[in-house]
Amino acid sequence: MTSDESKFGNIYSHPSTTRELEFQSMASAIPGDEETPLVADNSPLEAVKGRSHTRDIHILSLAFLLVFLAFGAAQNLQSTLNTEDDLGTTSLGILYLSFTFFSVVASLVVRVLGSKNALLLGTTGYVLYVAANLKPNWYTLVPASVYLGFCASIIWVGEGTYLTSAARSHSSDNKLHEGAVIGDFNGEFWAVYALHQFIGNLITFALLSDDQQEGSTKGTTLLFIVFLFIMTFGAILMCFLRKRSVNTKGEQELSGADAGACASLKSLSKSLASALSDIKMLLIIPLIAYSGLQQAFVWAEFTKYVVTPAIGISGVGSSMAAYGAFDGICSLLAGRLTSGLTSVTTIVSVGVFAQAVVLILLLLDFSISSGFLGTLYILFLAGLLGVGDGVLMTQLNALIGILFKHDTEGAFAQLKIWQCATIATVFFFAPLISFKSVLIIMLAFLCVSFCIFLWLALKVENTSSLSTSH
């Protein structure tokens, strides 16, 4: 096998030729944390064979929906509600800067706590941040943003690790193709998660109203109280998740009591260094960074410079609801269609095209006069951005689950580090440059990152073809 082959592996091997070896390699990874049946079974292999792990994915998806429909809507409003001294935008910049730094140690925290406990602890930061919006000032929002950065880092590494572990266990126990199951599970999760933009912003649209005489917005206190109740239900729902193995080599998860701090730190350093020295990760990072860039663009720039001037602050809710609806639909479809790197490449191409269309239309200052058609045009742009986000989020998560089986949590930590670094950059520096400059930078970044991703796909395909020919 050539050096290239050892780097990329045989991603394109036909399922019929690799399935038997795949199941043998995964047989040792069956989680040991599953609930013991009340009645003993004399045929344990028969019991394991048909075990379904979809229940946990349903719970995980719904819990994230409830937590993030509140946070997502609050985030969308920061650049339009908390405008004094750019408090809202600055707090988001601090949040994602904190998120970036804490992502470096997030995989260590997840290993020590376990993925389920990391998910539960992570929800507390989101509740605190939304509560801080009841009395928004520098002394409430900034500390809440720093703490949320820590909580966000562990909840997202925990989510990626938990979901991938469930997918691998499900494919092993039910003798299904691993790549297809990872795609299915990611598709369901991101489809349900994307609905947070739709539902959360519909609630915003229903409860907020513009006071034309005083030039203010009514209903903010009621809105955030409703959000706090919804988030509480989401946190409670996470308690019903089953504990699951989290590891780097397919072995059972070590608890915090079993793993020493020094050994964990060494493992963390090795994990991050290994990911950065992997050519596959280096070639994916640009597209990961763009996925963060386009999210920050929607939350801060699009709502402020496109939506608000056209249909007002109350229109942010309806436009982001359209964004969330298309995001959810495309996440589900993209997940169902994912079966390997070839399908990932095709689906990503569709998402990139949708994002490019929006950026080009905005660069050309194409607009439709105010009124129903003007509102419809804004919703159309929001929908296309949702298509791009749904595709990128499902495919990047599925791709990492497929390519980095040896270090799942380390790879997902890299995903969040680079996404959050670009998001923080947008929140801090976008106010210093013009909106058109932001659009030009985004379009250039999109083209470069997509070309690098295509080169990765071509390289892997060629390597796989060489290995199968031998």
Instruction: Quote the pLDDT of residue 462.
Output: 72
**pLDDT tens digits for 145-177?**
999 999 999 999 899 889 988 988 888 888 788
Helix (H, G, I), strand (E, B) or coil at 217: strand
Residue 37 DSSP code? P
Band of pLDDT at residue 124, cut at 50, 70 and 90 = very high
**pLDDT tens digits for 397-433?**
888 877 777 767 677 778 888 888 898 888 888 878 8
Using CA of residue 432, residue 437, residue 443, residue 444, what is the dihedral sign? negative
**pLDDT tens digits for 289-311?**
999 999 989 987 898 888 888 88
Q: CA 279 to CA 276: how far, in whole Å?
A: 8
Exposure string for 15-47, b = 16+ CB within 10 A, e = fewer:
eeeebeebbeebeebbbeebeeeeeeeeeeeee
Task: Identify which has the larger pLDDT, 213 or 396.
Answer: 396
Mean of pLDDT values over 97-115: 87
Tell me the C-alpha to C-alpha distance, in Å, between residue 251 and each of 27, 29, 30, 169. Answer: 11, 6, 9, 12
Please check the confidence at residue 270 and state whether its pLDDT lies above 50.
yes
Q: CA 221 to CA 235: how far, in whole Å?
A: 21
**pLDDT tens digits for 203-256?**
988 888 766 556 567 778 899 999 999 999 999 999 999 887 544 443 333 333
Q: CA 378 to CA 375: how far, in whole Å?
A: 5
Instruction: Quote the pLDDT of residue 470.
Output: 56
Q: CA 184 to CA 338: how far, in whole Å?
A: 7
Percent of the chain topping pLDDT 90? 33
Task: Identify which has the larger pLDDT, 132 or 195.
Answer: 132
Instruction: Quote the pLDDT of residue 365.
Output: 85
Q: Are 187 and 137 within 8 A, CB to CB?
A: no
**pLDDT tens digits for 331-367?**
888 888 887 778 889 999 999 999 999 999 999 988 7
Angle (deg, nearest 10), helices 138-174 and 115-132: 150
**pLDDT tens digits for 47-86?**
344 567 889 999 999 999 999 999 988 888 887 777 777 7
Mean of pLDDT values over 284-292: 93
Please check the confidence at residue 267 and state whether its pLDDT lies above 60.
no
Instruction: Quote the pLDDT of residue 469.
Output: 55
Band of pLDDT at residue 467, cut at 50, 70 and 90 = low
Q: According to the per-residue pLDDT averaged within each range, which of 115-129, 198-212, 249-263 is highest?
A: 115-129
**pLDDT tens digits for 8-52?**
444 444 444 443 433 344 334 334 333 333 333 433 333 344 567
Residue count of the chain, please give it. Answer: 470
Residue type, 327: D
Find how far residue 102's CA is from the centre of its chain: 16
Instruction: Quote the pLDDT of residue 106.
Output: 85
Tell me the C-alpha to C-alpha distance, in Å, between residue 53 and each of 166, 175, 321, 393. Answer: 6, 13, 30, 22
Task: Identify which has the larger pLDDT, 44 or 183.
Answer: 183
Instruction: Quote the pLDDT of residue 354.
Output: 95
Mean of pLDDT values over 438-447: 95
Q: What pTM was estimated for this model as a whole?
A: 0.68
Q: What is the DSSP string of 256-315?
A: TTTS-HHHHHHHHHHHHHHHHH-HHHHHHHHHHHHHHHHHHIIIIIIIIIIIHHHH-TTH
| Residue that the structure tokens 């998860």 belong to | 253
